[in-house]
Structure 1
Amino acid sequence: MPDSRTPVVLIHGLWLHATSWQPWADLADEHGYAPLAPGWPGEAATVAEARRHPEAVAGLGIDEVTEHYAGIIRALERPPVLVGHSFGGLIAQKLLGAGLGRAAIAIDPAQIKGVKALPPAQLRAGFPVLGNPANRRRAVSLTAAQFRYGFGNALERTESDELYERHTIPSPGRPLFQAAFANFARHSPAAVATGNADRGPLLLISGQADHTVPDVVTRSAYKLYGDSPAVTELKQFPDRGHSLVVDHGWRTVADHALRWLACQGIPGRGTSRT
């Protein structure tokens, strides 16, 4: 019997393993969606294995990761909802702009081409990678202290350290360089079709205490969609950092995303194939 549920493709960003989406996947399933959370190309099935083999993802760029998810989406029976965090949010926007999703939710999305804001906190959060040009070709791990600044700054240290131990993996440095220099590259892989009038609805979510993708960056991205008549909305969560999809408050963010999908007429079951 064909599955009538709407697929939800969960796309993680740098330094978090795909299994970090499990609570979101369970909740989506409860609401009648068909969730899947594929890792990036080359990503091992477990956190432990991914830590043992950082070379498997070294050198990956935005285009390679986007095409990986595009292939997964093309194999689905119906257009999915795309939910992405950090660089996963950038990739979700690229896929939606290319017509490969029914709707997208981009949470603390990495900087897209055209965004000029560059707050000091963002520079500091990216320095573990951007501080060494050789990291373009490497997979880089964060220390617990670096994770706390970039992800867990709005949390108690104990929770930040627990999340670090449970979910973090080495990630390629190349996407950060591509995003950082996007406005200087004519054909940047960080470019998104913000003017596409035919795409599905898009929700941008910002944690207003985020160091890695400060609120001003997400607000600047939102403004870039101003010339498109397609639905684009912005939701800001006060006092939330970059860990907002995995920390103790994840359910508040996920519930808002589900309510937004319902408002867009995209329930989990019985939806159209078009």
Structure 2
Amino acid sequence: MKSKRPAPIIVFITGAFVTHNCWDQWKPFFESQGYACYAPAWPHKDAPAAVLRSQHPHSPIAQNGLQDVLKLYSDFIAQLPAKPIVIGHSYGGLIVQLLLQQDSVAAGVAIESAPPLGVVALSWSLVRSVLPMLGLFSSTKTTFLPSFSQWQNAIANGLPLTDQEAFYERLLAPESKKVIREALSLRARVDFRRPHAPLLFLAGGTDRIMPAVLNHANFQRYRHAQSVTDYHELPGRCHAMLGQSTWREDAAFVLRWLSELKVAAVAPQT
């Protein structure tokens, strides 16, 4: 009797300033398509957003650095029975790129990705949105919590007010200043010339904090001709793309990309 083929695995990688509940719609969508899905929480962030906000500014989240977050996902992936597909949003997109560099995944999708070291693009909306998040001239021993106004302008621009308020209440969490600043350090370096698993960049057409021009610059840095690197811009998507009314359409686009590459047929890890 022919043994049943194991389900391909997806690990969803959360970005900064939100909880892993941002994947609450995407995870069951891909599970319904036959994938085994996981969405691990960042260190010190496995709690409802309201609880995490109540701990600000002296939250243990302030201890997190880029290597702490990367290690959490690396260790989680290492105990899986096969190389997974990784899908990350924003800072999670940077983690996707770093995991591909480790050759530990079967494919990656970087949605509105925070760029690795050295990737730059001219954008006033980027500067205006990112600078406050760095918490410059303040102690890294405390966390940074965006105001609702900052959330509206940098993350959820263009959404109805009711959606902006609902997403803020359900998802917004304080963040480590250290982890944000280290995205600009050598810890966030990627070797763009080395071979890598298939990688898709998805950009939001109205994203202010990680604008499409920055995502495209990130995509263009990859130089290995035999490795699959794709880019697609989704019009009308702000940085809160995962929860917009178009989320199912966007998830379906990712599903088609994976299906066309046949990356579901992942060999077991050795």
1:252 corresponds to which of 244, 249, 253: 249
SS in structure 2 at match of 1:142: coil
Unaligned 5+ runs, structure 1: 183-187
In structure 1, which of residues 150, 155, 169 is the aligned counterpart of residue 154 of structure 2?
A: 150
Change (3 A) 1:88 1:135: farther
Q: Hey, which bits of structure 1, 4+ residues long, moved more than 3 A?
A: none
Offset of residue 230 of structure 1: 0.6
Cα distance between partner residues in 2 of 1:36 and 1:51: 24
How many angstroms does 1:40 deviate by? 0.6
Indicate whether 1:4 and 2:3 are aligned.
Answer: no
Letter in 1 for 2:44: G
Match of 1:224 in 2: 221
TM-score by length of 1: 0.91
Do structure 1's residue 169 and structure 2's residue 173 form an aligned pair?
Answer: yes
Once the two structures are superposed, residues 53-111 of structure 1 have per-residue CA deviations (whole angstroms, 9 ceiling, x without a partner) of: 34121031211110111000001010000000000000011001111110000000002
SS at match of 1:100: coil
Q: Quote the offset at 1:140 in angstroms.
A: 1.2
1:23 corresponds, among 7, 25, 30, to: 25
Match of 2:267 in 1: 272
Which residue of structure 2 lines up, in the alignment, with residue 104 of structure 1?
108
Partner of 2:23, secondary structure, is helix
Amino acid at match of 2:208: H
Q: Deviations over 1:229-274 (max 9, x none)?
A: 210000101121100012222112111111100011023xx65326
Match of 2:48 in 1: 46
User: Given residue 190 of structure 2, which amino acid in structure 1 is its aligned partner?
Assistant: V
Residue correspondences, number: 265
Structure 1 residue 121, shift from structure 2 partner: 0.8
C-alpha separation in 1, matches of 2:142 and 2:90: 19
**Shift of the alpha carbon at 1:114?**
2.1
Question: 1:44-193, aligned counterparts within 5 Å?
Answer: 44-54=46-56, 55-179=59-183, 181-182=184-185, 188-193=186-191
- In 2: Cα distance, 1:196 partner to 1:136 partner: 34
Give the unaligned 5+ runs of structure 2. Answer: none
What secondary structure is seen at the aligned counterpart in 1 of 2:37? strand
d(CA) in 1 for partners of 2:121, 2:6: 42
Q: TM-score, normalised by structure 2?
A: 0.92
Give the conservation status (yes or no) of the 8 Å contact 2:83–2:266.
Answer: no
Cα distance, 1:22 vs structure 2: 1.3
Deviates more, 1:43-52 or 1:108-117: 43-52
Conservation of the 8 A alpha-carbon contact between 1:151 and 1:210: yes
